[in-house]
Structure 1
Amino acid sequence: MFTERTGIIVWFSDLKAAGKQLEKYGSVHYISKKLHYAAMYTYADRLEETMKQLQRLPFVKKVERSYRNEIKTEYNSNIPDKTRFYTL
């Protein structure tokens, strides 16, 4: 039902140009005015061509892929829970 999306970090030099043109390539999640980067999401099947197109823009310094969806977020602990020993 939902298509797979991947995050991209775009480092830029011109904030005004970035705010207007990055919407064409995916959904912009956050733009940092102080550090001059934007976090955005794009479709995973078109990731490589989108990164190449973004790199060609004159105001873009660097484009990085986000590895957030590859990080394990489910944790398990082999240590038993000791909170039940400290009840009132």
Structure 2
Amino acid sequence: MQVKEEKEFTIQKRRCLVVWVYSLKQLKTLKRYGLIHYVSRRMKYVVIYMNEEDIEQSEEKINGLHFVRKVERSYRPDVEMNFAEKIGTKAAYQYKEEEGFEVEEISTQIRLAENV
């Protein structure tokens, strides 16, 4: 009787690299560095996703390839994605007791089209 081990799922941190190339003939070479997410044939760039811990070494290796023009990192993981404080939605709904404000309630009657 075999005992099954429960494997815990851990999320790998990933980052995107945008690789600008002179020619798209060498796409197979780029496949070994990570997952190719998008290829722009007109503007000649490739979007590659790879694990965060491998990005330093892979970026240097990719930049050293003869068909690569430039390598850019994605800054999305570094950007804070909580925008509620930035655009002021929390501040808009806060009530300050010192200033205060008056609210007028207007009584409205709902009339149906049949009763008009």
With normalisation by structure 1, the TM-score equals 0.82
Q: What residue identity is the alignment partner of 1:6? A: R
Question: Among residues 29, 37, 47, which one is paired with 1:39 in the alignment?
Answer: 47
Q: Which has the higher helix share?
A: 1
Aligned residue in 2 for 1:84:
none
Q: 1 CA distance for matches of 2:12 and 2:81?
A: 20
One-letter amino acid of the counterpart of residue 8, structure 1: L
Aligned-pair identity (%) = 32
1:38-78, CA deviations, whole angstroms, 9 ceiling, x for partnerless residues?
11111111111000110111100111111011122222112
Flag structure 1 segments of 5+ consecutive residues without an equivalent. 81-88
Q: Which residue of 2 aligns with 1:20?
A: 28
Q: Distance in 2 between matches of 1:79 and 1:37?
A: 43
More strand by share: 1
Is 1:6–2:19 an aligned residue pair? no
Bigger RCO (CA 8 Å, 6+ sep): 1
Query: RMSD between aligned alpha carbons?
Result: 1.1
